[in-house]
Amino acid sequence: MAEENRVTPFPRGIHTYALRAGRMTESQRRSFETLASRYCVPCDGKPVLDFPAIFGREARIVVEIGFGMGISTAAIAESDPGTDFLGIEVHTPGVGKLLSEIEARGLRNIRILHHDAVEVVAEMLLPESVDGFHIFFPDPWPKKRHHKRRLVRRPFTELLVSRLKPGGYIHFMTDWSEYADFALAELSSTPGLSNVSGSSWTERTARRPVTKFEQRAEKEGRQVLEIRMVRTA
């Protein structure tokens, strides 16, 4: 990738994830071993992503950062077969789980990148190549000293904007109100973004399932807050 596109959005050694020890179930391991070569995009050498070559067609591209177990990813992709979805996740059991869902549901419009999304966005995505980013329930990093690990913060948000086509969107949601306020401030102050709901939260999107994070939030009396920003021309 050209030198001018190389940006370091987080200081060296700061990661937005904590690698969990979580064991893989037998079925996740089997899916990983048998299906990764078919649905995981190789990232050795961090090649620039050529979406038409990866998916075998020209279509809208949505990139999901940190899909967890891929529950929303699979449901949204199944309901929108005309759009191609690239899910990025570092947690191996989650990759195994989404692989098995892709196979079980016969989904042709999902590929997975098993890697740090910050590096993928910075080094493997071309400018103006993405129609939307989904960032659902990212790790909230509630302690003040960990705020620097939050995914939705500048200058990373500026990098996301540069990868969006004009009119492309960022869809964020969290059940941590303090992170929601923080993300709203970071996104609102990022040049080139406009909030589709004025300066506030967006209505719950109908076409997504309730994930375990949302279920837990509801049980514990926390509201899920969503933000939808669009790249202005």
Q: Exactly one of 5, 7, 17, 103 binds ligand SAM (CB under 6 A); which one?
A: 17
Which residues fall within 8 angstroms of residue 138, CB to CB, at 6 or more apart?
A: 16, 65, 66, 150, 151, 152, 172, 174, 179
211 binds ligand SAM (CB under 6 A): yes
Q: Which among 44-52, 85-93, 199-207, 223-231 is the span making contact with ligand SAM, rule CB under 6 A?
A: 85-93
Give the whole-angstrom CA distance, residue 62 versus residue 83: 7
136 binds ligand SAM (CB under 6 A): yes
Residues, the chain? 233
The one-letter amino acid code at 20 reads R
C-beta of 90 vs 124, nearer to ligand SAM: 90
Within 10 Å of residue 176's Cβ, how many Cβ atoms?
21
217 binds ligand SAM (CB under 6 A): no
Which residues fall within 8 angstroms of residue 108, CB to CB, at 6 or more apart?
A: 81
Least distance from C-beta 90 to ligand SAM, angstroms? Answer: 4
Q: Exactly one of 213, 217, 224, 227 binds ligand SAM (CB under 6 A); which one?
A: 213
68 binds ligand SAM (CB under 6 A): yes
Q: Is 139 a catalytic residue?
A: yes
Within 10 Å of residue 103's Cβ, how many Cβ atoms?
14
Active site residues: 139
Q: Which residues bind ligand SAM (CB under 6 A)?
A: 16-17, 66-68, 72, 88-91, 94, 116-118, 136-139, 151, 211, 213
